[in-house]
Structure 1
Amino acid sequence: MQVLKFGGTSVASAENIKIVTDIVKQSVAKDKTVVVVSALGGVTDMLLRCGIQAASGDPDYKKTLQELIQRHLVTVKALLPITHQSSILSKVMQQCNQIEDICNGVFLLGELSPRTKDKIVSFGELISSQIISAYWSALSIENNWKDARELIITDSNFTKATVDFAQTDSIIQQYFSSENAQLFIVPGFIASDSHKNTTTLGRGGSDYTAAIIGAAVNAKEVEIWTDVSGMMTADPRLVSNAKAITEISYHEAMELSHLGAKVIYPPTIHPLLLKNIPVWVKNTFKAEDPGTVIRADAQRNGNIIRGISSINNIALISLEGSSMVGIPGISKRLFEALGNHSINVILITQASSEHSICVGINESDADLAEKAVNQAFSYEIETGKVNPLSVEKNLSIVALVGDNMRSHPGTSGKMFGAVGRNGVNVRAIAQGSSERNISAVVATADVKKAINVLHEEFFETTYKQVNLFVVGTGNVGSKLLSQIAQQVQYLQENLRVQIRVVGLANSRKMIFDEEGIDLTSWAEELAAGAPMTLSGFIHEAQNRNLRNSVFVDVTANEAVAKVYDQLFDKSISVVACNKIACSAPYVYYKKLKDLAREHNAAFHFETNVGASLPIIGTLNDLLRSGDEVKRIQAVLSGTLNFVFNNYNATRSFAEVVRQAQKEGYTEPDPRLDLSGKDVMRKIMILAREAGEEIEMEDISNTPFMPESCMQGSVEDFYKEMEKQEAHFQALYKAAEKEGKKLKFVAQYENGKASVGLQHIDPQHDFYHLYGKDNIVLFYTNRYPEQPMVVKGAGAGAEVTASGVFADIIRAARI
Structure 2
Amino acid sequence: MQVLKFGGTSVGSSKAIEQVCQILVKHKPAGKYAIVVSAMGGITDKLINAGQLAGAGQEEYKSVLQEIETRHLDAIRELFPITAQSSQISQLKKKLNALENLCDGIFQVGELSARSLDKIMSFGELISCVLVAEKLKQQGLNANCKDSRQLIVTDGNFGHAAVNFPATNHNIQAYFAESAADYTVLPGFVAATADGETTTLGRGGSDYTAAIVAAAVNASVLDIWTDVSGMMTADPRIVSQAIPIAHISYEEAMELSHFGAKVIYPPTIQPVMDKRIPVWIKNTFAPEDYGTLIQDSSERSMAVTGISGIQQIALLTLEGSGMVGIPGFSKRLFEALLRERINVILITQSSSEHSITVGIHEGEMLRAKAAVDEEFATEIHEKKIEPLQVEKDLSIVAVVGDKMKNHHGTSGKLFGTLGRNGVNVRAIAQGSTEKNISAVINKADVKKALNLIHETFFEKPLKQVNLFVAGAGNVGGKLLEQLQQQQTFLQEELGLQIRVTGLANSKNMLLSEYGIKLSDWKEQLPQADASDIPAYIARIKALNLRNSVFVDNTASAEVAKTYHEFLQHGISVVTCNKIACSSDYQYYKELKELAKNYNASFLFETNVGAGLPVINTLNDLIRSGDRVHSIEAVLSGSLNFVFNNFVNGANFRDVVQAAQDEGYTEPDPRIDLSGVDVMRKILILARESGARMEMEDITNNLFLPQACLDAPSVADFYDQLDVHADHFKQLLSNAVAAGKRLKFVARYEEGKASVGLQCIAPEHPFYNLEGKDNIVLYTTSRYREQPLIVKGAGAGADVTASGIFADIIRTAR
TM bucket (normalised to shorter chain) is: over 0.9
- Write the deviation string for residues 751-797 of structure 1: whole angstroms up to 9, x where unpaired: 11111111111111111111111111111111223211111111011
Q: Is it true that 1:307 corresponds to 2:303 in the alignment?
A: no
Aligned partners of 1:668, 1:54: CA distance in 2, in Å? 75
* Aligned-partner SS, 1:560: helix
Q: Which residue of 2 aligns with 1:381?
A: 380
Which residue of structure 2 lines up, in the alignment, with residue 336 of structure 1? Answer: 335
Q: Distance in 2 between matches of 1:75 and 1:727?
A: 96
Structure 2 segments unaligned to the other structure (5+ residues): none
| SS of structure 2 residue aligned to 1:315 | strand
Q: CA deviation at 1:54?
A: 2.1
Q: Is the 8 A contact 1:453 1:547 kept in 2?
A: yes
Q: Residue in 2 aligned with 1:71?
A: 71
Contact 1:683 1:753 in 2 (8 A): yes
- SS of the equivalent of 2:27 reads helix
Give the CA deviation at 1:649. Answer: 4.7
In structure 2, distance between residues paired with 1:268 and 1:716: 85
| Equivalent residue letter for 1:20 | V
Residue 284 of structure 2 corresponds to: 284
- What is the correspondence of 1:404-423 to structure 2 with a 5 Å cutoff? 404-423=403-422
Deviation at 1:712, TM superposition (A): 2.6
- Give me the whole-angstrom Cα distance separating, in 2, the residues matched to 1:339 and 1:668: 74
Distance across 1 between alignment mates of 2:524 and 2:192: 61
Paired residue for 1:686? 685
Tell me the amino acid that sits aligned with residue 281 of structure 1. I
User: Which residue is 1:802 aligned to?
Assistant: 802
Alpha-carbon offset, residue 187 of structure 1: 0.6
Q: In 2, distance between residues paired with 1:531 and 1:237?
A: 31
> Residue 154 of structure 2 aligns to a residue in which SS?
coil
- Structure 2 residue identity aligned to 1:743: K
The verdict on how the C-alpha distance between 1:557 and 1:31 changes in structure 2, with shifts beyond 3 A counting, is farther
Q: Cα gap change, 1:20/1:716 in structure 2, threshold over 3 Å: closer, same or farther? A: farther
Aligned to 1:620: 619
Match of 2:269 in 1: 269
Q: Could you say what secondary structure the match of 2:726 adopts?
A: helix
- Out of 713-722 and 447-456, give the one that drifted further: 713-722
Decide whether the 8 Å contact of 1:84 with 1:138 is kept in 2. no
User: CA–CA distance in 2 between the matches of 1:806 and 1:169?
Assistant: 67
Give 1:91 shift.
1.9
Q: What SS does structure 2 have at the residue aligned with 1:69?
A: helix
Q: Which amino acid aligns with 1:123?
A: F
Work out the CA distance in 1 between the residues paired with 2:655 and 2:107.
Answer: 90
1:92 is displaced (CA, Å) by: 1.6
CA distance in 2: counterparts of 1:527 and 1:649, whole angstroms = 48
Structure 1 residue 147 corresponds to structure 2 residue 131: no
Q: TM-score, normalised by structure 2?
A: 0.98
Verify the 8 A CA contact 2:418 2:449 in the aligned structure 1. Answer: yes
Q: Deviations over 1:680-722 (max 9, x none)?
A: 1001101111111111111111212223333333333334323
1:650-669 alignment to 2 at 5 Å? Answer: 650-669=649-668
Once the 2 structures are TM-superposed, how far is the Cα of residue 376 of structure 1 from its aligned partner? 0.1
The one-letter amino acid paired with 2:319 is E
Distance 1:449 1:355 in 2: 32
- 2:791 aligned residue: 791
Distance 2:719 2:264 in 1: 79
- How far residue 103 of structure 1 moved from its aligned partner, in angstroms, is 2.0
TM-score by length of 1: 0.98
Residue 4 of structure 1: how far off its partner (Å): 0.7
3-state DSSP class of the match of 2:153? coil
Which is further off, 668-677 or 328-337? 668-677
Asked if the contact 1:11–1:41 (Cα under 8 Å) also holds between the matched residues in 2, the reply is yes
Residue 30 of structure 1: CA displacement? 4.4
Distance 1:172 1:53 in 2: 36
Q: 2:722 aligned with 1:722, yes or no?
A: yes
Query: Amino acid of the residue matched to residue 389 of structure 1?
Result: L
Q: Counterparts of 2:499 and 2:227 in 1: how far apart (Å)?
A: 30
Distance 1:308 1:643 in 2: 60
For the residues of structure 2 that align with 1:363 and 1:564, how far apart are their CA atoms? 35
* Per-residue Cα deviation, 1:150-200 (whole angstroms, up to 9, x for no partner): 010011111111111100000000001101111111110000011111110
Deviation at 1:379, TM superposition (A): 0.4
Aligned to 2:774: 774
Q: What's the counterpart of residue 757 of structure 2? A: 757
Match of 1:208 in 2: 208
Larger deviation, residues 51-60 vs 262-271: 51-60
1:588 to 2:581 alignment: no
2:630–2:748: 8 Å Cα contact kept in structure 1?
Answer: yes
- The Cα of 1:406 is off from its aligned counterpart by 1.3
User: How far apart in 2 are the matches of 1:28 and 1:380?
Assistant: 68
CA drift of 1:670 comes to: 2.2
1:220-268 CA distance string (max 9 Å, x none): 1000000110011111111111111111110110011011111000110
**In structure 1, distance between residues paired with 2:391 and 2:648:** 74
CA distance in 1: counterparts of 2:32 and 2:659, whole angstroms:
86
Aligned to 2:315: 316
Over the matched positions of the two proteins, sequence identity in percent amounts to 59
The aligned runs of 1:88-167 (5 Å cut-off) are 88-167=88-167
Answer whether contact 2:134 2:144 (CA < 8 A) is retained. no
Q: Deviations over 1:61-95 (max 9, x none)?
A: 22222211111111111111111111111222222
Partner residue of 1:637? 636
Q: CA deviation at 1:531?
A: 1.4
Matched residue count: 812
Q: What secondary structure does 1:180 align onto? A: coil
Aligned residue identity for 1:420: G
My pick for the range that moved more, 492-501 or 367-376, is 492-501
Q: CA RMSD in A?
A: 1.2
Local SS of the residue matching 2:378: helix
Deviation readout 1:654-690 (Å, 9 max, x if unpaired): 3222322232322233221111110010011011111
* 1:441 counterpart letter in structure 2: V
SS in 2 for 1:231: coil
> In the alignment, does 2:635 pair up with 1:647?
no
Structure 1 residue aligned with 2:35: 35
